[in-house]
């Protein structure tokens, strides 16, 4: 009986915390999310040779900090011509959530 109570309590806590630090994406896991999604593409015919990333991090959905702009991601990768953009979402039990913009280009 104690194990059942502990399991129910753990699930309840996960559900409550899962709504706190929310990640953006078509698929979100209750206890854990680590997924990559497409964002946009350009008509650039050149194959991308560089990758830049920019991330925003949230704690319990109460505090969020960072710069996940496309411009910052491109600057971080030394990119002046964007080929395509993806994003990644990671959420660990609603406690910590990351949203990362990934820019590919030259």
- In angstroms and rounded to an integer, the radius of gyration of the C-alpha atoms of the chain is 17
Give pLDDT tens digits for 29-81: 778 888 999 988 888 888 999 999 999 999 998 999 999 999 999 999 999 99
Give the per-residue pLDDT at 19: 47
Domain count, the chain: 1
Q: Which domain holds residue 76?
A: 2-105
Distance CA 21, CA 38 (A): 21
State the pTM of this model: 0.74
Q: Among residues 13, 103, 11, 102, which one has the least CA distance to residue 60?
A: 13
């Amino acid at each position: 009986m104690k194990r059942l109570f502990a399991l129910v309590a753990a699930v309840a806590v996960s559900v409550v915390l899962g709504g706190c630090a929310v990640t953006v994406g078509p698929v979100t896991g209750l206890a854990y999310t680590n997924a990559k999604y497409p964002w946009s593409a350009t008509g650039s015919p050149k194959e991308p040779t560089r990758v830049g990333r920019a991330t925003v991090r949230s704690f319990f959905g109460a505090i969020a900090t960072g710069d996940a702009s496309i411009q910052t991601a491109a600057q971080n990768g030394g990119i002046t011509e964007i080929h395509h953009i993806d994003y990644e979402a990671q959420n660990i039990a609603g406690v910590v959530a990351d949203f990362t913009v990934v820019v590919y280009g030259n």
